[in-house]
Structure 1
Amino acid sequence: MIFKKNLIYLAIFSFIFLFLAFSYERSDSVLKRLDLETITSKQQGVYKGNIAEDFQLLNSVGEKVSLSDFRGKKVIINFFATWCSPCQEEMPTLVQLDKKIDDEKLVLLGINVTKEERNVDDVRRFLNHFEVKYEVLFDGDGKVMKDYQLIGIPTTIFIDENGKIVERLNGIVTMEMLLDHPFLQGLLNKNNQ
């Protein structure tokens, strides 16, 4: 008798559990959306909403620099190559932006797709020509370019203080686009606007 009673309770409990699970799965409830947003926001990757894939590259003086070194600051990453006409056209805008930003809150990083260059000296001449003062890293083996699944250059990525990708822009960015973007609000030096 007790066994039969427990079996009935187990059946009722199983039915209720399955009903709730089925209802939750079929619903577009606030809880379900929050669960999905939480999972997505913590997922590492290279697209908007992901936690940016960390990397370590050498800078122009041979020091290792990691993306995670800048946690706590907003970061703009710009992938470029010297032979790329749109990159050449865009570079003065980035140099001008670098002069306007508050370095305490925002870091501008250039990543040269060095594997696609003839040699590193061409990159150094390019940076000198445009008077680039912000940090430029060299992707010598193309790993970061591959990891970030670039479909073309220039590609610019905005990363927030927590390492989350806020925006991914393929193609040339203009000063107007940058200054109007909510990502840069409050990050420009008052003297250089």
Structure 2
Amino acid sequence: MTLATLGVCVATLWRPIQHRWLTWLVLRAESPAQSLVDGVVASDAHPDVLLSRLWGMGKIPHRLAVLNYLQTHRSSGSALRAEEVAILTDAARGSDLEAKDLAFTVLGVRHHPELRSLSLEQLRDIDPAVRALGLQQLARAGDVQLVPLVIPFLKDSDPRVVAAAGQALGKWTSNNFGMRLSLALPDFKRDLIPNADTAALQQGVARGMDWWREHQSDFAASQIELPRPSASWRLPASDFSLADLAGNQVRLSTFRGKPVLVSFWATTTTNAFDFLSELADVQRRNGDRFVILGISLDGTPLANTEGCGDEDEHSGHVHGDEHMHMAHVHAGHIRMQVEQFVQSKKITYPVLMDSAAEAGHRFSALELPTNIIIDRDGNVRRRFVGLRSGAVVEAMLAEAEKPAQNSQTEAK
């Protein structure tokens, strides 16, 4: 056998072995790299089966990796396969807002027939960000018969929802009511209370309502109703044990029986400072009815923080006990910073230190603040990045008190 022939044989045998090994790594990883997932799925003989398997694991990082793969590789080109549509519709009906947004992106680009009904389902949600997403997606439909369903959202309590409703109404009726999305910015990730141009928005609402009073009779025969969400969404929450600021270990599963809000943040997350105070108010108003846990990611790459203090000029040459001592001192310094921050912000709920970003990776806290609502049975019922008012947070926690089949609460 020549060396060339031997090389071909080795390569032929090695590729499937390498693929199985990489697939095993993806399945076992707490938070697999997107590039690794993309490579494994693209080279698999049955990519749809592998995508369904990753989705069915019920792990947040794996699910987001699947949706990111579909967004990158399946937003155009050939028709979506049945397995892919099943994943996308499941995500769109779920309560992970990041997953929901990715799913709607893929379905929206393709003008998928499920887009209309899935968008309508979002309008009953208690989260204004979900309602705004549903309205923005409905605007793509161009169905003027949906006008009666959208009119009530011109009176929504959140100006970003009002602006989204005005945009949809203007597009469908070919009218410029002046309700631009820019009137209610920034988005839900960057500010607790939008810097809305209230006067301009109210003027737009008045023009929209004037138009409705004039044309309402044209829609008298409309029998379209908002569909109820077709499925409740929950995933078993990955348990963890982290130290609080006093050094005591706190395990998530010990709070089983009560709704829990887990909020990942860092002292560098300046846009979240008011939100953290809102959470403290929620805790004070509700006593021990709900549990709120703050998890600091300070000192980890997820916090985008640099090392504290000056580095020793010989830090690249320390080993063994000296290295461990330096790491301990560094961790102590980070904890002290977090303690001072907690005191300055009058945070009264427990704050845990995720110094290795263990829990942060499990819940894909790649943007801060990332918030997880866990129900009394230990299932993740909501996940969202960004800020919400105390009233919305309370409604989400109250929702998590109810059995899953009755968990979806309508917006008022």
TM tier relative to shorter chain = 0.5 to 0.7
TM-score (norm 2): 0.33
**Partner residue in 2 for 1:115:** 299
Secondary structure, aligned partner of 1:100: helix
Equivalent residue letter for 1:72: G
**Partner residue in 2 for 1:45:** 59
Q: CA 1:161/1:176 → structure 2, altered by over 3 Å: closer, same or farther?
A: closer
Equivalent residue letter for 1:107: V
Q: Say whether the 8 Å CA contact 2:368–2:385 is kept in structure 1.
A: yes
Q: Is 1:85 aligned with 2:300? A: no
Counterparts of 1:1-150 in structure 2, within 5 Å, are: 45-46=59-60, 49-103=234-288, 105-116=289-300, 118=308, 119-150=334-365
What is the root-mean-square deviation of aligned Cα atoms in Å?
A: 2.4
Equivalent residue letter for 2:292: L
Match of 2:377 among 152, 162, 186: 162
Q: Structure 1 residue 136: deviation in Å?
A: 0.7
Partners of 1:54 and 1:151 lie apart in 2 by 19
Q: CA 1:147/1:120 → structure 2, altered by over 3 Å: closer, same or farther?
A: same
Partners of 1:146 and 1:166 lie apart in 2 by 18
Q: CA 1:126/1:96 → structure 2, altered by over 3 Å: closer, same or farther?
A: same
76-85 vs 108-117, greater mean Cα deviation: 108-117
Equivalent residue letter for 2:299: K
**Partner residue in 1 for 2:398:** 184
Q: CA 1:172/1:186 → structure 2, altered by over 3 Å: closer, same or farther?
A: closer
Partners of 1:111 and 1:182 lie apart in 2 by 19
The Cα offsets for residues 1-43 of structure 1, whole Å up to 9 and x where unpaired, read as xxxxxxxxxxxxxxxxxxxxxxxxxxxxxxxxxxxxxxx7xx6
**Which ranges of structure 1 fall in alignment gaps of 5 or more residues?**
1-39, 188-193
TM-score (norm 1): 0.68
Q: Structure 1 residue 182: deviation in Å?
A: 4.7
Partners of 1:124 and 1:44 lie apart in 2 by 34
Q: Say whether the 8 Å CA contact 1:109–1:136 is kept in structure 2.
A: yes
Equivalent residue letter for 2:257: G
Q: Structure 1 residue 185: deviation in Å?
A: 5.8
Equivalent residue letter for 1:113: L
Larger fraction in strand: 1
Equivalent residue letter for 2:397: F
The Cα offsets for residues 132-161 of structure 1, whole Å up to 9 and x where unpaired, read as 111111001111111211130111111011
Partners of 2:378 and 2:249 lie apart in 1 by 19
**Which ranges of structure 2 fall in alignment gaps of 5 or more residues?**
1-55, 61-95, 97-232, 309-333, 402-412
Equivalences, count: 146
Q: Say whether the 8 Å CA contact 1:75–1:106 is kept in structure 2.
A: yes
The Cα offsets for residues 58-98 of structure 1, whole Å up to 9 and x where unpaired, read as 01111111111111111111111011112213111111111
Equivalent residue letter for 1:173: R
Q: Say whether the 8 Å CA contact 1:159–1:166 is kept in structure 2.
A: yes
Equivalent residue letter for 1:184: A
Aligned-residue identity in percent: 25
Equivalent residue letter for 1:81: A
Secondary structure, aligned partner of 1:115: coil
Partners of 2:344 and 2:377 lie apart in 1 by 34
